[in-house]
Structure 1
Amino acid sequence: MNFHKPTPQNIWKGRLSDEIQYWYQKVKCLETFLSENVNSKKKIALLGYAVDEGVRRNQGRVGTQFGPDEIRRTMGSMAYHLPESMEIQDFGTFWLDDSDLEGVQKTTQEAIGHLLENNYFPILLGGGHDLAFPHGMAAFHYCKSRNESLGIINLDAHFDLRDLVHDQGHSGSPFLQILNSAKNMNSSMKYFCLGIQKASNPSSLFETAKTTGTWWLENEACTISNWEVVQAQLEAFLSQVNKVYLSIDLDGFSSAYAPGVSAPSPMGFSPDFAMKVLEYVAKSKKLLCMDVVELNPKYDIDHCTAKLASRCIESTVRKMWE
């Protein structure tokens, strides 16, 4: 299939153990693009999005195409605390060598839709945040077919509600594209962004956020000491939707914790705050799918950003099944 390549099993490594104690021992890499395993049991699907074109179009620093495999390398050695019966399958990576962002997004959307229909919990590994467009649209169509409402929760320093450039999407436009697509289909969708930094979002984007009905919390409010306020906002948002697509943009974290991103900032939120949000969303029982995006290994220090991405994934799915 165009844009797709399987993941070699040997990328998943960890401490030797006779018993299942680490993630690498549970992940099965499949040569075929999608599994024929269609049983009703919930399963985890890992899928990479090694695409830099959206970041390039948005004038960011490229290198996110190396993110998916770097996350896999750090995930392998994590201790495993999910049910022993859980199936975790790695369906490979979508990659792009040229500028056909729209083509790879179409294929990605179709793949995520297939996974959702076959009772997988998709975890997408980015890659630029332009991944959110195909990911969000796949989740939207899945929910719409079941007469359910979808909410998007995005941990991010940016709204990512920018206009298209030369009629083309990019890493700064995905949520506007999703909201406009839903509107064009006479449907609505709710979008909540936590971690917004005023220095990174001009006033025009705040106006766009208002006109699209976007919910947001500015970075200054995203602290553990303010958790009661944050929790109340999350509770209000979750009460209005049936399912949630969760997106974690690593540039929302302070660069003290996440230096290896496309757009670093020292003013982002901390891991302990993000983990509180992830736990709350996971335990809502409404989480449908998730992604972690904007890892740029070229600028990482001691793999700490990749490890942070892996911890976000592990913590979320562990809380889902506790």
Structure 2
Amino acid sequence: MSYKSLWQGRIDSEDGDAGRRWHQVVEFQDTPYKAAGGLCLVGYPNDSGVEANKGRIGAAQGPDALRQAMANLPWILAGKLFDIGNCTIHCELAETQQDYASRVSEALRANKVLGLGGGHDIAWASYQGLNKATDGIGNIGIINFDAHLDLRKPAPSASSGTPFRQIAEFSQRNNKPFHYACLGASLAANTPALLDYARTTGTRMLPDTQFSVEGAIECLTPMLENVEHLYVTVCMDAFPASVAPGVSAPSALGISPQDTVQIIQWLGNQCRARGLKWVLSDIAELSPGFDIQGATARLAGRIGFELANAMHG
């Protein structure tokens, strides 16, 4: 099935433009060069990184499930909506990430981008795309809603558990500051080795047991004072398995979706007030084969809706 055929939904023709939904405004472009002046969706239908991290495979179907979940959302943004399809999947994870990063960097020249994962190895690819699009100028703040720190050593190979360590090591090699915050990290899902590395790199962490809007504001405000660009990534395994069963690694406890939405909205307001450039977000680890009645996909779609609105303001 072509990804284009997934964009279907209700039509309220009696309401005119005020009744439009995402499926009615989306435009398809075969290349990022042709997309300009809006929100650009880029798919990353890959779960080889999840498999390498010994997770439940199935996130490769995540982008299409996200498209279906977002198709019926009301369109309330100024500008256009583009879907430029999926990146090319290669035998080597690094090549797939490079292809995605290239698409993101080109799309960012004239758009804001929402990435549709795929495993959380999308984060290393997203960061590379943003770093290239900004020509390496300005500090990038990374905010990750996740039960896992994803700071594993990329040995013997990179995986969905290594992206932020890859970013940390890249930053060190290039004398760049590493601004990373993980909101919702589970102490029951991260080893002492990962926690030690987090402390060593100055990672900001808000545990799932302390997750709240107020806690996030306290955690993130100092970082926002030291960055020019913002990249936000949401791993669907951050949420309770009872709410989001269709993920690569279900969470026993998880964080509140309502608080997550409020934090995303707060971030949008902060970026406008501080003049920060928030042009890139993505959603990872949606695994439709394990979903129950589409609950996880619907939540992921709502998260996509909030990210898009917060980035545009």
TMscore range, shorter length = over 0.9
Q: Is the 8 A contact 1:7 1:93 kept in 2?
A: no
Distance, in Å, in 2 between the alignment partners of 1:231 and 1:8 is: 37
CA deviations on 1:288-322 (whole Å, 9 max, x unpaired) are 20000000001101111111111011122223444
1:213 matches 2:202: yes
Residue aligning to 2:142: 152
Q: Aligned-pair distance for 1:35?
A: 3.4
Structure 2 match to 1:93: 86
State the Cα deviation string for residues 143-200 of structure 1 (Å, max 9, x = none): 354x31101000000000001132x210000000011012111222200000010110
The yes-or-no answer on 1:164 pairing with 2:162 is no
Which consecutive unaligned segments of at least 5 residues does structure 1 have? 1-5
Aligned to 2:177: 188
Q: Aligned to 1:129, what secondary structure does the other structure show?
A: coil
Task: Name the SS for the 1:160 alignment partner.
Answer: coil
Q: Is the 8 A contact 2:267 2:310 kept in 1?
A: no
* Counterpart residue identity of residue 121, structure 1: K
- Equivalent-residue separation in structure 1 for 2:141 and 2:300 (angstroms): 22
| CA RMSD after TM alignment | 1.7
Which of these residues, 5, 8, 11, is aligned with residue 10 of structure 1?
Answer: 5
Partners of 2:83 and 2:202 in 1: CA distance: 36
- After superposition, the Cα gap between the structure-2 partners of 1:205 and 1:37, relative to the gap in structure 1 and judged at 3 Å, is closer
CA distance in 1, matches of 2:250, 2:3: 31
Which residue in the other structure is 2:291 paired with? 300
Given the alignment of the two structures, is residue 266 of structure 1 paired with residue 252 of structure 2, yes or no?
A: yes
Cα distance in structure 1, aligned partners of 2:74 and 2:139: 35
Letter in structure 1 aligned against 2:231: Y
Q: By how many angstroms is 1:43 displaced?
A: 1.3
Structure 2 residue aligned with 1:278: 264
Report the CA distance between 1:140 and its aligned residue.
2.5
Matched residue SS, 1:91: strand
1:13-32 superposed matches below 5 A: 13-18=8-13, 19-20=16-17, 21-30=20-29, 32=30
Matches within 5 A, 1:128-143: 128-143=119-134
- Counterpart Cα distance in 1 of 2:305 and 2:126: 20
State which of 32, 35, 52 in structure 2 corresponds to 1:34: 32
| Partners of 1:8 and 1:29 within 8 A in 2 | no
Take 2:225 and 2:72, find their aligned partners in 1: how far apart are those partners?
36
Q: CA separation in 2, counterparts of 1:207 and 1:119?
A: 39
CA positional deviation for 1:95: 4.7
- For residues 91-122 of structure 1, give each alpha carbon's deviation from its aligned partner in whole angstroms, at most 9, with x where no partner exists: 001253x6411111111111111111x22111
Q: What TM-score does the superposition give when structure 1 sets the normalisation length?
A: 0.90
Q: Quote the Cα distance in structure 1 between the aligned partners of 2:134 and 2:33.
A: 22
- Residues 11-41 of structure 1, C-alpha deviations (whole Å, 9 max, x = no match): 10111232342110111122x2223345xxx
Q: 2:51 aligns with which of 53, 56, 59?
A: 56
List alignment gaps of at least 5 residues for structure 2.
none
Paired amino acid for 1:279 = Q
Give the conservation status (yes or no) of the 8 Å contact 2:205–2:219: no
How far apart are the structure 2 equivalents of 1:205 and 1:8? 37
Alpha-carbon distance between aligned partners in 1 of 2:211 and 2:217, rounded to the nearest angstrom: 10
Q: Tell me the number of residue pairs that the alignment of Structure 1 and Structure 2 aligns.
A: 304
- 1:7 is displaced (CA, Å) by 5.3
Contact 1:52 1:128 in 2 (8 A): yes
Identity of aligned residues (%): 31
Are 2:83 and 1:65 aligned?
no
AA aligned to 1:53 is S
Check if 1:252 corresponds to 2:238.
yes
TM-score of the pair, normalised by structure 2: 0.92
**What letter corresponds to residue 98 of structure 2 in structure 1?**
K
Contact 1:251–1:264, Cα closer than 8 Å, also in 2: yes
Q: 1:305 to 1:102 in 2, by over 3 A?
A: same
